């Protein structure tokens, strides 16, 4: 297609028309300065209009001209706000002048030295640190025009602080790690100051919240937000005297056995199963997966956010070291169950605790045990107490039970053999004390009634005889 009446086309190798822009598809047709375009197309950055040319031997073809290049003269950078919280986002906008600028694209950046935020190429700013940041937009049209705006990244304030109440006692010479929870979780400054309020210096606390008991007594641990001194919390801690332990020598000159972390003798522990979970306020369940562990779960309602709590089950070979005797009945298993640290498993922290356990069906059959009255016994205050126990199910291998417990300490699972159960059942149904009294009373009442009737008949006969004698 020959462009006629448009002007001189020069710099033929690049196909530039009047220095206005690039024309693609130009071919050299002859040596007299006439040029042809292969197909209809668009000429960028030229005077607006339709350029018509005649393609030799073919119909007229047209090329559309998009118009002149309109450069950017100014940019205004704004945001939906002039502040953004640390960790939050703010959309930035670049307003281009003139409105009909040919290329309105910009490059977003953060001015060096103000790196308290990041910005992507869509202009979305993210605060990374409290302070002031300068956001810049630069035109992509090659004009070099740019603009910037200052945005303040502000701290997310601390609104609350809470001390974990899982344990409120510590022995003298021992340590207790205090834990503080900061609200909200994304607060900018989570630093705190620990202190102990005590006149007698019964305890000291480190900068990291590690409390050390010094002498028996009561102390108040306080934690204060560094960001806001008005936000604080406190907790009363009891420092107890250190417990003394004594070792009993075995016969034949043998020493006392070692002990596990719970205090139980190591040689008496057949299996130890530990479960740790984060305990919040509400329903809590510890599951034990070891197939050889008779205890399947511990379940209760937590009254407080207590953090990570550990439940430990020790399956024993014999009665617990902490129990002076064994409970009545046929012993299936001796067990120690510990929940949390000393002082945790109390009515102020938990309620409605239950223990789920299983009993081997082979033991039931071999011992001639009645599965119904199997119970979980707890040793506390120097004596054994049978807990309220319910059979919850059974399968080919086990009978399953659940027992309510007021606490955690040594336990024993016991059963009653069928003969003893039958004997108890027979003795119970023969008669009750009330029925015996009633029976005796009824017999006495019948005897008294017969005696009364005999006396009445005798008197009646005597009266008739006297009456007849008088008539004579």
pLDDT in tens, 128-175: 888 899 999 999 988 899 999 999 998 888 889 888 776 788 888 899
pLDDT at 112 over 90: no
Same domain, 31 and 150: no
- Give the integer Cα–Cα distance in Å for 20 and 413: 99
| Domain count across the chain | 4
Same domain, 347 and 290: yes
Long-range CB contacts (within 8 A, 24+) of 70-73: 70/98, 70/100, 70/101, 70/102, 71/101, 71/102, 71/141, 71/143, 72/96, 72/97, 72/98, 72/101, 72/103, 72/104, 72/139, 72/141, 72/143, 72/145, 73/97, 73/98, 73/101, 73/143, 73/145
pLDDT tens-digit map of 49-71:
444 444 444 444 455 555 567 89
- Give the integer Cα–Cα distance in Å for 311 and 273: 8
What mean pLDDT do residues 326-341 have? 94
Query: What are the φ/ψ torsions at residue 425 (nearest 5 degrees)?
Result: -65, -45
- Per-residue pLDDT band at 423 (split at 50, 70, 90): low
The answer as to whether 253 is a domain residue is no
Last residue of a domain, one of 124, 139, 154: 154
H-state helical runs in 265-397: 361-366
The answer as to whether 21 is a domain residue is yes
Last residue of a domain, one of 240, 271, 306: 240
Burial 64-100 (b: 16+ CB within 10 A, else e): ebeeeeeebeebebebeeeebbbeebbebebebeeee
Same domain, 318 and 223: no
**218 bridge partner residues:** 238
The tokens describing 41, both together, are 């197309």
- Give the integer Cα–Cα distance in Å for 240 and 363: 44
Q: What pLDDT score was predicted for residue 243?
A: 64
- Give the integer Cα–Cα distance in Å for 349 and 340: 11
Q: Please name which of 240, 242, 237 lies closest in space to residue 196, comparing C-alpha atoms.
A: 237
pLDDT tens-digit map of 84-106:
988 889 999 999 999 989 899 99
Q: What pLDDT score was predicted for residue 409?
A: 92
Q: Please name which of 237, 178, 174, 236 lies closest in space to residue 209, comparing C-alpha atoms.
A: 178
pLDDT tens-digit map of 370-419:
998 899 999 998 999 999 999 999 999 999 999 999 999 999 999 998 76
- Give the integer Cα–Cα distance in Å for 463 and 458: 9
- Give the integer Cα–Cα distance in Å for 440 and 292: 56
Same domain, 24 and 79: no
Give the list of residues 6+ apart from residue 4 with CB closer than 8 angstroms, or none: 53, 54
**308 HSE (CA, 13 A, CB side):** 6
The answer as to whether 461 is a domain residue is no
Same domain, 141 and 211: no
The structure tokens 């001015």 sit at 111
pLDDT tens-digit map of 277-327:
888 889 999 999 889 999 999 999 999 888 888 899 999 999 999 999 999
Give the list of residues 6+ apart from residue 16 with CB closer than 8 angstroms, or none: 9, 10, 22, 23
Q: What pLDDT score was predicted for residue 418?
A: 76
The answer as to whether 248 is a domain residue is no
The answer as to whether 249 is a domain residue is no
pLDDT at 184 over 60: yes
Residues of the chain with pLDDT > 90, as a percent, come to: 40
- Ranking 76-85, 241-250, 411-420 by mean pLDDT, the lowest is 241-250
* Cβ–Cβ < 8 Å for 49, 122: no
Same domain, 310 and 406: yes
Query: What are the φ/ψ torsions at residue 202 (nearest 5 degrees)?
Result: -75, -15
Long-range CB contacts (within 8 A, 24+) of 96-104: 96/72, 96/139, 97/72, 97/73, 98/70, 98/72, 98/73, 100/70, 101/70, 101/71, 101/72, 101/73, 101/141, 102/45, 102/69, 102/70, 102/71, 102/141, 103/72, 103/139, 103/140, 103/141, 104/72
Element (H, E) at 40: none
Same domain, 402 and 301: yes
Look up the CATH number of the domain holding residue 191.
Answer: 2.60.40.1080
Give the list of residues 6+ apart from residue 293 with CB closer than 8 angstroms, or none: 271, 273, 313, 315
The tokens describing 448, both together, are 């008294």
Look up the CATH number of the domain holding residue 392.
Answer: 2.60.220
Q: Is 365 left (phi over 0), alpha (psi -120 to 50) or beta?
A: alpha
Same domain, 55 and 79: no
- Give the integer Cα–Cα distance in Å for 377 and 361: 19
Largest CA distance in the chain: 190
Query: What are the φ/ψ torsions at residue 424 (nearest 5 degrees)?
Result: -65, -40
- Ranking 14-18, 64-68, 218-222, 323-327 by mean pLDDT, the lowest is 14-18
Same domain, 276 and 349: yes
Q: 323 by DSSP, 3-state: which?
A: coil
What mean pLDDT do residues 336-341 have? 91
Same domain, 277 and 403: yes
The answer as to whether 449 is a domain residue is no
DSSP 214-278: -SSEEEEEEEEESS-TT-EEEEEEEEEPPPP---PPPGGG--PPPB-TTS-BGGGEEEEEEEEEE
Same domain, 197 and 219: yes
Q: What pLDDT score was predicted for residue 288?
A: 93
Same domain, 333 and 380: yes
Last residue of a domain, one of 13, 33, 65: 65
Q: Which domain holds residue 55?
A: 2-65
The answer as to whether 440 is a domain residue is no
What mean pLDDT do residues 448-461 have? 51
Average pLDDT in the chain: 76
Q: Is 464 exposed, middle or buried (0-12, 13-18, 19+ CB in 10 A)?
A: exposed
The answer as to whether 408 is a domain residue is yes
The structure tokens 């049209």 sit at 141
Q: What pLDDT score was predicted for residue 320?
A: 93
Q: What pLDDT score was predicted for residue 449?
A: 46
């Amino acid at each position: 297609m020959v462009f006629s009446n448009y002007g001189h086309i020069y710099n033929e190798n690049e196909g530039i028309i009047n220095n206005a822009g690039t024309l693609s598809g130009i071919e050299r047709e002859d040596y007299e300065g006439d040029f042809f375009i292969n197909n209809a197309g668009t000429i960028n950055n030229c005077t607006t209009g339709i350029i018509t040319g005649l393609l030799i031997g073919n119909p007229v073809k047209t090329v559309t001209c998009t118009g002149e290049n309109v450069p950017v003269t100014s940019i205004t950078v704004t945001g939906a706000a002039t502040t953004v919280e640390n960790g939050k986002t703010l959309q930035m906008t670049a307003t281009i002048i003139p409105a009909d600028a040919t290329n309105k694209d910009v490059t977003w950046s953060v001015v060096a030295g103000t790196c308290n935020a990041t910005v992507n190429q869509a202009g979305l700013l993210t605060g990374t640190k409290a302070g002031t940041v300068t956001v810049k937009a630069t035109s992509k049209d090659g004009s070099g025009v740019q603009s910037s705006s200052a945005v303040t990244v502000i701290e997310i304030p601390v609104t609350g602080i809470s001390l974990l109440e899982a344990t409120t006692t510590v022995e003298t010479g021992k340590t207790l790690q205090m834990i503080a929870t900061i609200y909200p979780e994304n607060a900018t400054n989570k630093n705190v100051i620990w202190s102990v309020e005590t006149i007698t210096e019964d305890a000291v606390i480190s900068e990291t919240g590690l409390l050390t008991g010094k002498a028996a007594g009561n102390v108040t641990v306080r934690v204060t937000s560094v960001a806001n001194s008005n936000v604080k919390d406190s907790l009363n801690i009891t420092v107890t005297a250190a417990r003394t332990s004594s070792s009993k020598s075995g016969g034949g000159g043998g020493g006392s056995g070692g002990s596990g972390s719970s205090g139980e003798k190591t040689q008496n522990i057949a299996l130890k199963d530990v479960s740790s979970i984060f305990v919040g306020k509400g329903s809590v369940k510890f599951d034990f997966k070891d197939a050889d562990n008779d205890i399947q779960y511990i379940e209760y309602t937590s009254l407080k956010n207590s953090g990570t709590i550990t439940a430990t089950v020790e399956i024993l070979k014999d009665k617990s070291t902490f129990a002076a005797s064994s409970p009545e009945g046929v012993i299936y298993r001796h067990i120690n169950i510990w929940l949390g640290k000393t002082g945790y498993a109390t009515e102020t922290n938990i309620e409605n605790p239950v223990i789920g356990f299983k009993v081997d069906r082979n033991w039931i059959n071999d011992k001639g045990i009645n599965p119904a009255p199997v119970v979980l016994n707890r040793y506390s205050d120097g004596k054994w107490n049978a807990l309220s126990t319910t059979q919850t199910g059974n399968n080919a291998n086990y009978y399953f039970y659940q027992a309510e417990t007021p606490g955690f300490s040594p336990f024993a699972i016991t059963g009653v053999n069928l003969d003893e159960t039958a004997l108890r059942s027979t003795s119970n149904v023969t008669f009750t004390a009330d029925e015996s009294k009633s029976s005796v009373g009824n017999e006495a009442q019948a005897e008294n009634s017969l005696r009364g009737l005999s006396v009445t008949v005798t008197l009646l006969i005597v009266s008739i005889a006297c009456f007849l004698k008088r008539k004579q």
